[in-house]
Amino acid sequence: MTLLAVSDLSIQVGELGLVDGVSLSIRAGEVVALVGESGSGKSLTALSIIGLLGDGLTRSQGRIDFDGQDLAAVPEAALRKLRGADIAMIFQEPVSSLNPLVPVGDQVAESLIVHGRASVAAARVQAVAMLERVGIPEPARRARQLPTELSGGMCQRVMIAAALISRPRLLIADEPTTALDVTIQAQILALMASLAAEAGTAILLITHDMGVVAELADRVCVMYGGRIVEDGPVGPIFASPRHPYTGMLLRTIPRLDQAPKGDLFSIAGNVPSPRDWPMGCRFRTRCNRADAACAQTPTLSGRDLLGEDRRVACFHPLEAAP
């Protein structure tokens, strides 16, 4: 069953478009990764889903259906009932997202109390238990501390605990493991995977780390220049990417099964500013397969792909693996 369906979402500031016609869906218990370089529009897409776009940013078109309800059309009061209960988010900047004047244990317990899922005393007990699950040592003592007394990595884990404690139906995780060491990162990914499996939580994972995608995600949507350029199951896309941008992203991953050959691969150039997006395919200025046809806008479709659930927006897709 589809839990979240984003259809033809566009976001702009003034007359300037930032996200252009994004469509994606997530089923209950499914993990969908939204990947791409910084500036691709991933975080804006996520913030739009829960109605937290900043001042001056507007959704110019599209629907955001959560369990059959268009979140883009409901009043703010209805969204507040969903946030933290049915939909939770792990924000990209944990230090600035936490209240510096409130003990972290109270912040983790807050959603349980506000949504009437536990008494204050019971919520605080559950908060300490969740802090322990995300790898915070001495959780009872840490729960009484302010965010300013914790490291950036610990604040990241506090944010993850606050998002997971209510066992939401949809978890939006924006770079959830960026500030964590490898051991804690593996622990958090395992916890998120168990939440998806046990509670049927759907997860929208926003990341630029393709290794995290391979570890956790079922499907992947590759985003560039405010548009999705390829999507499909993780296994087939990793084995046989079709969009040139996807292929380049995968080449940036160090391989332990191959001897190093010079410097690590990097994609030449940078994601252009929305003010400088080229006409047609927005990746064409960095793509070695581009020609005159790419001055037109390619359609995200399943034409000539290996599986009917894969889509690519490219006039000259990479050849399918044998």
pLDDT in tens, 123-175: 999 999 999 988 899 999 999 999 999 988 889 889 989 999 999 999 999 98
pLDDT above 90 covers a percentage of the chain that reads 59
The residue-averaged pLDDT of 199-206 equals 91
The rounded mean pLDDT for the chain is 89
Is the pLDDT reported for residue 122 higher than 80?
yes
pLDDT given for residue 182 in this prediction: 82
- β-pair partners for 230: 222, 312
Listed ranges 56-60, 182-186, 263-267; the one with the highest mean pLDDT: 56-60
Q: How confident is the model at residue 268 (pLDDT cuts 50, 70, 90)?
A: confident
pLDDT tens string 213-254: 988 999 999 999 999 999 999 999 999 999 999 999 998 877
User: What is the pLDDT, as a whole number, of residue 304?
Assistant: 45
Are 316 and 289 a contacting pair, CB within 8 Å? yes
Q: How high is the pLDDT of residue 135?
A: 87
Q: How confident is the model at residue 309 (pLDDT cuts 50, 70, 90)?
A: confident
Angle between helices 104-114 and 120-133 (to 10 degrees): 120
The pTM assigned to this predicted structure is 0.90
Note whether 173 and 201 are within 8 A (CB): no
